[in-house]
Amino acid sequence: MVFQINFKSGMPVYLQVVDQVKAAAASGALQPGEGLPSIRPLAEELRVNRNTIAKAYSELESLGVIETLPGKGCFLKTNHSPLRKEVRRKLLTEEVDQAIVKAHHFQVPRAEFLELVNERLDALDEKRRANEEQKTN
Amino acid sequence: MNASTPAIKIEGLAYTYGRAEAVRDFDLTVNPGRCYGLFGRNGAGKTTTMKCLLNLLRPQRGSVRVFGLDPAKQEVEVKRRIAYVPDQVAFYPWMTIRETLDYLASFRENWNRKTEAELLGRFRLDASQKTGGLSKGQRTQVALISAICPETDLLVLDEPTSGLDPIVRREFIETVIGAYQEGNPGQRTILVSTHLITEFEGLIDEFTIMDGGRAVLSLDADQARERYQKIRVRFAQPPMDLDLKTALRVRRDGRELELIVNGGGPALLEQLRLRNPESLTSEALTLEEVFVATLKT
């Protein structure tokens, strides 16, 4: 996969790598069992500190998104989250709450907000379908 | 020595050339495994500081420790653990690259021949060429090879990429990340002085901005990008009575404002948002912009 680092986003660089792997996994751009670039070439290519990439990968591993096979590299795992369902729900609730607070300040009413959520879920599905088609072709 | 011993610890350093105070009351702590940037304009005191680490200059006040050792008293032990790429690289011009590297290797207890061959190939250097005929970029490449092959715990780079073309600069940084850091992941420490901050943006974990021989700002790079924000806002009418005391810098033109903040960004954004702006955006400052903002205010 191809990573993009944006220093103007204000987000720590390692988190940008983490989020991009998560997003690629969600959209199917990265399939279970597929390998991630090794640390050294990726760090060189992005010209970021090797430790930053190592930190991102170990974070992804502790989140259960990827696994490291000794001598082979890092791969996307089939079954993502090692967390229990309630914990997953709780973590997601925090994120949803933040979006709701933002929606309030942007004066986006409930119906429009829900519509937007549906729209984004559809968009992700669409991306996933497109990625799947590309894989089968 | 234990794991908590800093790679570099400088306290109250002062150095004066004649009457010119190059460094005064300067503190610096670099922990092992970090890549630390020393940013400053020409004459800010970066090179003087580095020379004190290498015992090329004796501190006139204060103390300098490298892995807990005093470079003036334990010079050999300190030099064994440091590799250095100076801003002006000079070799004996009558020696070939091969002879130069062998000569430099003879001072080292450890020299990775495999890395040497790999880097000579990567830089497309002909080892039988005399160093007198090398370009500035090629001389820097040879200096980098000679700094990486001994596999030291600390790499000190003084304005390593200034005056080099963009391709050589990129290769230089990639080599530091790859060949140097990979050798002992998480443990290799880098101190780099530069004013080409953008180039090193992704490599720097932590930095100190020097000005007039003093440290004016020391910060973690991720923290800096989180704290320093540029906010752009446009209102329908020129805004009155905005409280912009927290902003570091304000540019204003009629209905539009550009603010630079150091911390307090979210609160200010909230305040602006409540006034129903036509548009409101914010982005992090890059380290170079943080540098400019720090020294211009």
> What pTM, to 2 d.p., does this model score?
0.87
pLDDT score for B158: 94
Evaluate whether residue B218 is within a structural domain.
no
Task: Give the model's pLDDT for residue A27.
Answer: 82
Could you identify the residue written with the tokens 């309030």?
A: A104
pLDDT category at B147 given cuts 50, 70, 90 is very high
- Domain end, chosen from B161, B190, B212, is at B212
CB contact under 8 A, A44 and B222: no
Domain-located, residue B1 = no
Range of the domain at A117: 85-136
* CB < 8 Å to A105, chain B: 270, 273
pLDDT at residue B1 greater than cutoff 60: no
Measure the CA–CA gap between A110 and A108, rounded to whole angstroms: 7
Nearest CA in chain A to B174: A44
In a domain, A112, yes or no: yes
Give chain A's residues under pLDDT 50: none
Q: What is the pLDDT of residue B2?
A: 55
Q: Do A47 and B170 touch (CB under 8 A)?
A: yes
- Residue A57 sits at the vertex; the CA angle it makes with A56 and A58, to the nearest 5 degrees, is 95
- pLDDT at position B56: 92
B278 at A interface, C-beta within 8 A: no
pLDDT, averaged across chain B: 92
Cα(B294)–Cα(B209) distance, rounded to whole angstroms?
8
Statement to judge: residues A71 and A121 lie in one domain = no
Is B27 in the same domain as B155? yes
Residue B178 lies in a domain: yes
> Which domain range does residue B74 map to?
8-212
Q: Is the ipTM of this complex over 0.90?
A: no
Q: How high is the pLDDT of residue A106?
A: 81
Q: What is the pLDDT of residue B183?
A: 84
Percentage with pLDDT > 90 across chain B: 75
Look at residue B243 in the predicted model and tell me its pLDDT.
82
With a cut of 80, say whether residue B104 has pLDDT above it: yes
State the pLDDT at residue A81: 63
Residue, of B173 and B297, whose pLDDT is higher: B173
The answer as to whether A2 is a domain residue is: no
**Interface check B275 vs A, CB under 8 A:** no
Query: In which region does residue B145 sit, left (phi positive, over 0), alpha (psi from -120 to 50) or beta (all else)?
Result: alpha
User: Residue A8's closest chain B neighbor by CA?
Assistant: B284
Residue B208 has pLDDT above 60, yes or no: yes
Instruction: Say if B217 falls within a structural domain.
Output: no
Interface test with chain B among A4, A44, A58, A68, by most B beta carbons within 10 Å: A44
What is the domain-level CATH number for residue B239? 3.30.70
Residues B264 and B170 in one domain: no
Q: Are residues B23 and B166 in the same domain?
A: yes
Kindly state whether residue A71 falls inside one of the protein's structural domains: yes
Question: CB of A68 within 8 A of CB of A29?
Answer: no
Task: Report pLDDT for B3.
Answer: 60
Count of domains observed in chain A: 2
Of A82, A76, A81, A73, residue with least CA distance to A31: A76
